[in-house]
Amino acid sequence: MTGAVARVVMYATGFCPYCLRAEDLLRARGAEDIEKIRVDLDPARRAEMLERTGRRTVPQIYIGDVHVGGYDDLAQLDRGGRLARLLAAAEV
């Protein structure tokens, strides 16, 4: 992928293997700047994540304004060829 890609925000913890896999996949698809919000270090950010997503598990990923979900959701988007398009469509 060339050019700018969407802003990516990922709620994560420091000990989550799915967070690492999600980050690897996003980087492989061209997302270089991933804003990681560590909910294990800041309980207020965990509450924010729950309020925004309605989910308690990490990772929770946003591409632009679109809530993608967790790693399984991200991988499914990628398998369907939609992840690269989503990253490009939400360019900043």
Burial of 88 (0-12, 13-18, 19+ CB in 10 A): middle
Per-residue model confidence as pLDDT tens for the chain (92 residues): 455 668 999 999 999 999 999 999 999 999 988 999 999 999 999 999 999 999 999 999 999 999 999 999 999 999 999 999 999 975 54
Q: What's residue 3's pLDDT?
A: 58
Q: Give the three-class secondary structure for 13.
A: coil
Domain assignment present for residue 45? The answer is yes
Domain assignment present for residue 2? The answer is no
Q: What's residue 60's pLDDT?
A: 98
Domain count within the chain: 1
Domain assignment present for residue 74? The answer is yes
Question: Domain residues for 18?
Answer: 8-89
Distance between CA 2 and CA 17 in Å, rounded?
A: 28
Q: What's residue 54's pLDDT?
A: 97
| CATH assignment at residue 68 | 3.40.30.10
